[in-house]
Amino acid sequence: MARAPPFFYLYTCTSEKNTYFYKKVVMKYALLILLTLCFVAGARAQTTVTIRPHFNGKESLLFRLDSTNPGWSSSPYMHADADPDSTSPIYNYLAWTFSGIPGVTRNLVCFTDLTNPAVIPTGAIVTSAKLYLYGIPSTPTGDYGNSTYPGSPYTSYGDNSGWLYELATPFNPLTTCWNTQPNVKHTDSVAIPPSTSQWGTSDTLDVTSMVTDMIATGNTGFEIRLRTEILYREHLYASSRYADSTLHPALVVTFDTVAVVIKPPVVNLGNDTILCSGDTLTLQSSVTYIDPTYLWNTGSTTPAIIVTKTGQYWLTVTTNDSSASDTINVTFKPKPVIFISSKDTIICIGDSARITGSAPEQPFVTYLWNTGSTDSSIYVSDSGTYILTVTESGCIATDSIHVSEGIKPYVNLGPDTLLCNGTEIQLSANPDTALWSTGVTAQSISVIQAGIYWASVSTLCGIARDTINVSYQPCNIWLPSAFTPNDDGRNDIIRPVGTLGLYTDFALSIYNRWGNLVYYSKDIYSGWDGTFNGIKQDGGTFYYMMSYTFQGKKGMMKGDITLIR
For residues 225 and 89, membership in a common domain is answered with yes
For residues 528 and 402, membership in a common domain is answered with no
pLDDT at 1 > cutoff 70: no
pLDDT at 521 > cutoff 90: yes
As a whole number, mean pLDDT of residues 1-16 equals 32
- 133 within some domain: yes
The whole domain housing 294 covers 264-333
- 411 within some domain: no
For residues 222 and 92, membership in a common domain is answered with yes
Distance from C-alpha of 73 to C-alpha of 391, rounded to nearest angstrom: 76
User: What pLDDT does residue 74 have?
Assistant: 55
- 326 within some domain: yes
User: 167 versus 552: which is more confidently predicted?
Assistant: 167
Distance from C-alpha of 423 to C-alpha of 470, rounded to nearest angstrom: 11
pLDDT band at 30 (very low <50, low <70, confident <90, very high): very low
In the chain, what percentage of residues exceed pLDDT 70?
81
User: What pLDDT does residue 334 have?
Assistant: 84
- 548 within some domain: yes
- 43 within some domain: yes
User: What pLDDT does residue 57 have?
Assistant: 37
For residues 94 and 223, membership in a common domain is answered with yes
User: What pLDDT does residue 39 have?
Assistant: 37
The string of pLDDT tens digits covering residues 397-448 is 888 999 888 888 889 998 888 877 777 888 998 777 899 999 999 999 999 8
Q: How far is CA 457 from CA 130, 411, 413, 454, 466, in A?
A: 96, 7, 12, 10, 9
As a whole number, mean pLDDT of residues 542-558 equals 88
pLDDT band at 260 (very low <50, low <70, confident <90, very high): low
The string of pLDDT tens digits covering residues 267-315 is 889 899 989 888 899 998 877 677 788 999 999 999 999 999 999 999 9
CA-based nearest residue to 351, from 316, 428, 403: 403
- 412 within some domain: no
User: What pLDDT does residue 408 have?
Assistant: 84
Q: What residue type is 273 in one-letter code?
A: T
For residues 66 and 212, membership in a common domain is answered with yes
Distance from C-alpha of 562 to C-alpha of 479, rounded to nearest angstrom: 11
As a whole number, mean pLDDT of residues 505-525 equals 95
User: What pLDDT does residue 178 have?
Assistant: 72
Domain boundary among 315, 333, 351: 333
- Are 69 and 101 within 8 A, CB to CB? yes
CA-based nearest residue to 91, from 80, 105, 102, 75: 105
User: What pLDDT does residue 468 have?
Assistant: 94
For residues 6 and 102, membership in a common domain is answered with yes
| Helix, strand, or coil (residue 424) | coil
In the chain, what percentage of residues exceed pLDDT 90?
38
Helix/strand/coil percentages in the chain, nearest 5 = 10, 45, 45
pLDDT at 68 > cutoff 50: no
User: What pLDDT does residue 89 have?
Assistant: 66
**Cis amide linkage into residue 20, ω under 30° from 0:** no
pLDDT band at 54 (very low <50, low <70, confident <90, very high): low
pLDDT at 182 > cutoff 50: yes
| Helix, strand, or coil (residue 132) | strand
The string of pLDDT tens digits covering residues 318-365 is 887 788 899 999 999 888 888 787 788 888 888 888 888 877 766 778
For residues 112 and 208, membership in a common domain is answered with yes
User: What pLDDT does residue 99 have?
Assistant: 72
As a whole number, mean pLDDT of residues 194-204 equals 93
Q: Among 191-200, 471-480, 498-507, where is mean pLDDT lowest?
A: 471-480
For residues 62 and 173, membership in a common domain is answered with yes
Measured in whole angstroms, the distance separating CA 421 from the mean position of its chain's CA atoms is 75
For residues 100 and 167, membership in a common domain is answered with yes
Q: What residue type is 518 in one-letter code?
A: V
Highest mean pLDDT among 144-158, 203-217, 368-382, 492-506: 203-217
For residues 484 and 400, membership in a common domain is answered with no
CA-based nearest residue to 545, from 565, 517, 523: 517
As a whole number, mean pLDDT of residues 104-128 equals 87
User: 46 versus 36: which is more confidently predicted?
Assistant: 46
Domain boundary among 354, 377, 406: 406
pLDDT at 155 > cutoff 70: yes
- 85 within some domain: yes
pLDDT band at 184 (very low <50, low <70, confident <90, very high): very high
pLDDT at 163 > cutoff 90: yes
For residues 128 and 80, membership in a common domain is answered with yes
As a whole number, mean pLDDT of residues 9-28 equals 31
Q: pTM of this prediction?
A: 0.42
User: What pLDDT does residue 297 have?
Assistant: 93
Q: What is the count of structural domains for the chain?
A: 5
Q: Among 39-48, 103-112, 160-169, 293-302, where is mean pLDDT lowest?
A: 39-48
Q: How far is CA 82 from CA 11, 71, 106, 239, in A?
A: 11, 19, 20, 17
pLDDT at 128 > cutoff 90: yes
Mean pLDDT over the full length of the chain:
80
Domain of 446: which CATH number? 2.60.40.10
pLDDT band at 160 (very low <50, low <70, confident <90, very high): very high
For residues 400 and 254, membership in a common domain is answered with no
Domain of 516: which CATH number? 2.60.40
User: What pLDDT does residue 498 have?
Assistant: 85
Domain boundary among 214, 234, 258: 258
pLDDT at 120 > cutoff 70: yes
- 225 within some domain: yes
pLDDT at 83 > cutoff 70: no
